[in-house]
Structure 1
Amino acid sequence: MFKVIAIIIVFGVLVFFHELGHLLLAKRAGILCREFAIGMGPKLFSIKKGETTYTLRLLPIGGFVRMAGEDPEVVKINPGQEVGIIVEGDKVSKIIVDQLQSYPQAEVVTVEKIDLEQELILEGNLAGEYKTWKIDPAAYLINQGQEFQIAPWNRQFGSKTLGQRAAAIFAGPAANFILAFVLLLIMGLSYGTPTNEPILGKLSEDGPAQAAGLAQGDRILSIDGKEMHSWEEIVAIVSQAPDQELELIIEREHEQATLTLTTDNMENVGKIGVYQPISKDPTKSVKFAGDTTWEFSTMLFKGLGMLFTGKVSLDELSGPVGISKFTYEAAEQGVGFLLQWAALLSINLGIVNLLPLPALDGGRLVFLLLEGLRGRPIDPQKEGMVHFLGFAFLMLLILVITWNDIQRFFF
């Protein structure tokens, strides 16, 4: 059960922090965020806090932050239409679009003019009298029993500076890199970090090192007369000597001793049954987290390069099914290994989202770059169509990769 829960938690945390990055930077820019969603498809759970509705959806394949102005407003009010209004103070706080009989406290107005973005006014006929009302910037439209907060132009995504919009989009992938660093830092602080000192870590039971009388913490001064200055040097000389007798000079409690052992042979590689030494120094944990985040990032970038150059085929990619299987296997190895795997997945999510493809964050950043070069935005309808086609292509790609995963792992 722990392994299944681990898969759900890992996927949920990666998506949550990605979308949280978008949400925080969008809110900081003053953009109205209507919904913060984890998953896609039908809603399973929702709660509203402030201006934003937080939802959990059925399909665990991503998430989104719905920012005002990114999609056409779902409710339109036209001249000649009758609406109900509720006035608080000197401003309209609610506009009822339909089912007026359900709101007897509302005043019924025949609309002549309404502006919900710039002027925030409503002009219309109330009981034979032409009147003008100011609309509260945080007013709600009520349609089919559902409330929708209006989005004045200064609260919409498109009203913000190029830098603010780019930051809100880039913040999602950036949050994944930050999350990876934090996960690796937690791993380092909890379990220690590997060091390159020529010191023995934990010994395997009944291994050559234990049989020879070596102990955890012994410093290896030399092997067969060759001085040892690092763990890597120990591994290099031992691995090249399968089934061979080695003479070790060690230092233990400030005293030197000479021991001999015969290495094991594992597929023509010498082994002595010793793990790499571990340090729990917090400063080394920070360095480990930074170095490993960088190593994972460069490794994944190189992998993407191999994919685009054809050195790696599409059949070798893994989708949700494959990732779930690998996450299950990581959970079997323990929490430390799972943290490292989750960090790798988080970096992967960040890098993939930065690809300059439609529907991804990288594709949206490309459109902002074009806007900066042109001095004016791309036609929203054309941009929306490109992202729609890109999203459809990505869904098709996910289906193909998922089918490959199913055939690979279950047939």
Structure 2
Amino acid sequence: MQTLIAVIIIFGLIVAIHEWGHLYFAKKMGILCREFAIGFGPKLYSKKKNETLYTIRLFPIGGFVRMAGEDPETVQIKPGYEIGLTFNDQDKVKEIIVNNKAKHPEAKVVSVERIDLEHQLKIDAYGDEEEGLQTYEIDPKADLIVDEERNQIAPWDRQFGSKKPWQKAVAIFAGPFMNFVLAIVLFIGYGFIDGVPVPEVGQVAETSPAEEVGLQNGDTILALDGQEMSDWREVQEYIQNSPDEAIAFSIERDSSVETISITPTAVYHEPWDRDIGQIGIIPERDHGVLLVIQNSFIQTYEVVELIFDVLSLIFTGEFSIDMLAGPVGIYDVTGDVVALGYEMLFLWAGMLSVNIGIVNLLPIPALDGGRLVFIGIEAIRGKPLDPNKEGMAHFVGFALLMLLVLMVTWNDITRLFL
């Protein structure tokens, strides 16, 4: 149960932040956002605030922001069709009622001659015989009510397609960008809880190479083999890359500097498939604000670098589906992380957030990266691609992604349970 709760909270947070990035920056670009959804499928909860409907849906496997212009905007109201109109204080149309006009006795019924809900925002229609043809101005935030379902109209300047390529790119890139921001915040949280390792000895293991040569708690490691060490990562990497090789440790102890030779023990590391050096020390941890913030950016960069290292294996032929984890694999790992302590969830959630940010930026149709590619092509051509062709590309990309998810999930199940 703890694992399930942790997974729901982590993915809910990552998805919500990602979609909020799309929502916030799309609105800043002047795009009407009809819906902000967490999950897919039937609605479990919905609440409308201002112009946007906020929903939580049954299947917690993602989310979306529905921007005006991405779907057909209106029903086709043809000449001769009777509709109901209500007006605001400025005598502009605030509601256009299609069907069920009897439920709106206050509405004025007219017969449409011409209607433009995107550009001119006007209706030419016949009312009473005495009035003849009348022109009615439409409020830019008027509602179109079809079979009692209410939707705000979207003038062309509020639609996604009307925006310049750079504005579209900002709205699309904002989702993955917020995943990186979230990761940095989570790494900062982890740093404040657990501290940042520094090149100072915090604990020496018994019968270890470090204890045998007299390394002590509080010793500060200044250099290894004459190379200055500025942080713990450099110290750790140097030691791991020197199994069974003597290293000259320049250390500061009680305001004096001395040199100690230590030979790291060779220990086989299965993930790397090689021996690594270990001397048996645990570093001291610092909770300084500036150090924690700086380290959060470094951790984010390291996760990005690791992901690209894995992706590069695709081009060398060394990539395997076993390197990927689907929902089942992530659930299993999350259970292991929970067992290590809740503070580790900050670290794990940050790594997942970076992963989702990077994956979404891959130039694959249906992902944000694929959409950015099409926006880039639009910027070069000076006009957008055929919406039908782009839509088909995204559909095919989505189908292939779902197939990959199924394959990875099945691989997770066979690896863990069969």
Q: TM-score range by the shorter chain?
A: 0.7 to 0.9
* CA pair 313-259 structure 1, distance change in 2 beyond 3 A: closer
For 1:126, the equivalent position in structure 2 comes to 127
Query: Which residue of structure 1 aligns with residue 110 of structure 2?
Result: 109
Deviation at 1:2, TM superposition (A): 3.3
Q: Distance in 1 between matches of 2:249 and 2:373?
A: 59
Q: 1:137 aligns with which of 135, 140, 156?
A: 140
Aligned residue type for 1:177: F
Displaced runs of 4 or more, over 3 A: 202-216, 218-223, 226-235, 237-242, 246-273
Cα shift readout 1:331-350 (whole Å, capped 9, x = no counterpart): 22223322122111111111
Confirm whether residue 338 of structure 1 aligns to residue 345 of structure 2: yes
**Cα distance in structure 2, aligned partners of 1:110 and 1:256:** 94
The range that moved more, 363-372 or 330-339, is 330-339
Residue 146 of structure 1 pairs with residue 153 of structure 2? no
SS in 2 for 1:164: helix
Whether the 8 Å CA contact 2:186–2:349 is kept in 1: the answer is yes
**Residue number in structure 1 paired with 2:403:** 396
Q: 1:178 offset after TM fit, Å? A: 1.5
The answer as to whether partners of 2:240 and 2:276 remain within 8 angstroms in 1 is no
Equivalent in the alignment of 1:43: 43
CA distances 1:76-108 after superposition (whole Å, capped 9, x unpaired): 322221111111221010111111121111121
Letter in structure 2 aligned against 1:170: F
CA–CA distance in structure 2, aligned partners of residues 222 and 379 of structure 1: 61
Distance change (3 Å), C-alpha of 1:259 and 1:360 = closer
1:394/1:217 CA distance change after superposition, 3 Å: same
Check 1:154–1:310 CA distance in 2 against 1; reply closer, same or farther (3 A cut): same
1:157 counterpart residue number: 160
Show the counterpart of 2:282. Answer: 275
TM-score, length of structure 1 as denominator length:
0.87
Matched, 1:354 2:361: yes
Query: In the alignment, does 2:394 pair up with 1:387?
Result: yes
1:74 deviates by 5.0
Q: Is the 8 A contact 2:31 2:67 kept in 1?
A: yes
Residue of structure 1 equivalent to 2:67: 67
Q: Secondary structure, in 3 states, of the residue corresponding to 1:275? A: strand
Q: Structure 1: how far apart are the matches of 2:366 and 2:240?
A: 51
Higher deviation after alignment, 386-395 or 8-17: 386-395
Residue number in structure 2 paired with 1:200: 201
AA in 2 matched with 1:102: K
The match for 1:405 among 397, 407, 412 is 412
> 1:47, 1:228 → 2: CA distance?
60
| Equivalent in 296, 299, 306 of residue 303 of structure 2 | 296
- AA paired with 2:330? I
Aligned partner of 2:55 in structure 1 is: 55
The 8 Å contact of residues 117 and 153 in structure 2, kept in 1 or not, is answered as: yes
Query: Do 1:93 and 1:138's aligned partners in 2 also have CA atoms closer than 8 Å?
Result: yes
Check if 1:324 corresponds to 2:327.
no
Give the one of 188, 191, 210 matched to 1:188.
191
Q: Per the alignment, in what secondary structure is the counterpart of residue 72 of structure 2?
A: coil
Task: Write the distance in 2 (CA, Å) between the matches of 1:409 and 1:221.
Answer: 45
**Pairwise CA distance, 1:166:** 0.9
In 2 relative to 1, CA 134–33 (structure 1 residues): closer, same or farther, beyond 3 Å?
A: same
Is the Cα–Cα contact under 8 Å of residues 238 and 263 in structure 1 kept in the other structure? no
Rounded Cα–Cα distance in structure 2 between residues aligned with 1:389 and 1:263: 53
Indicate the percent of aligned positions where both proteins have the same amino acid.
Answer: 49
Give the AA of the match of 1:175.
M
Aligned-partner Cα distance in 1 for 2:150–2:314 = 46
Provide the C-alpha distance between the structure 1 equivalents of 2:283 and 2:408, rounded to a whole number of angstroms: 37
Contiguous gaps of at least 5 residues in structure 2 = 269-274
Contact 1:220–1:228 (Cα < 8 Å) also in 2: no
Deviation at 1:307, TM superposition (A): 2.7
The structure 2 residue matched to 1:173, chosen from 173, 176, 196, is 176
Rounded Cα–Cα distance in structure 2 between residues aligned with 1:292 and 1:355: 21
Distance 1:61 1:208 in 2: 49
Summarize deviations over 1:161-212 as a string: whole Å, max 9, x none: 11111111111111111111121122222221112x2x21245689787899
Deviates more, 1:97-106 or 1:212-221: 212-221
Matches of 1:237 and 1:266, distance apart in 2: 9
Alpha-carbon spacing, 1:308–1:34, altered in 2? closer, same or farther (3 Å): farther
Decide whether aligned partners of structure 1 residues 281 and 111 sit closer, same or farther in structure 2, where only a CA change above 3 A counts: same
The aligned counterpart of 1:99 is 100
Residues 1:294 and 1:77: Cα distance change in structure 2 (over 3 Å): same
SS in 1 for 2:283: coil
How far apart are residue 310 of structure 1 and its match? Answer: 2.6
Unaligned runs of 5+ in 1: none
Give 1:240 shift.
3.8
1:111 is paired with a residue whose SS is strand
- 1:364-387 superposed Cα distances (whole Å, 9 cap, x missing partner): 111111111111111112211211
Please give the alpha-carbon distance, in whole angstroms, between the structure 2 residues aligned to 1:215 and 1:291: 28
Cα distance between partner residues in 1 of 2:294 and 2:276: 30
Provide the TM-score with structure 2 as the length reference.
Answer: 0.86
Amino acid at match of 2:68: A
Question: 1:227-275: CA deviations, max 9, x gaps?
Answer: 8965655872997469x9x999976655899999999886687756431
Question: Contact conserved, 1:108 with 1:126, CA < 8 A, in 2?
Answer: yes
What is the distance in 2 between the residues matched to 1:162 and 1:250? Answer: 56
Kept in 2, the 8 Å contact 1:192–1:285? The answer is yes
Equivalent residues, number: 405
Residue 100 of structure 1 aligns with an amino acid whose one-letter code is K
Please provide the CA RMSD for this pair: 3.2
* CA distance 1:66–1:158, shift in 2 (3 Å): same
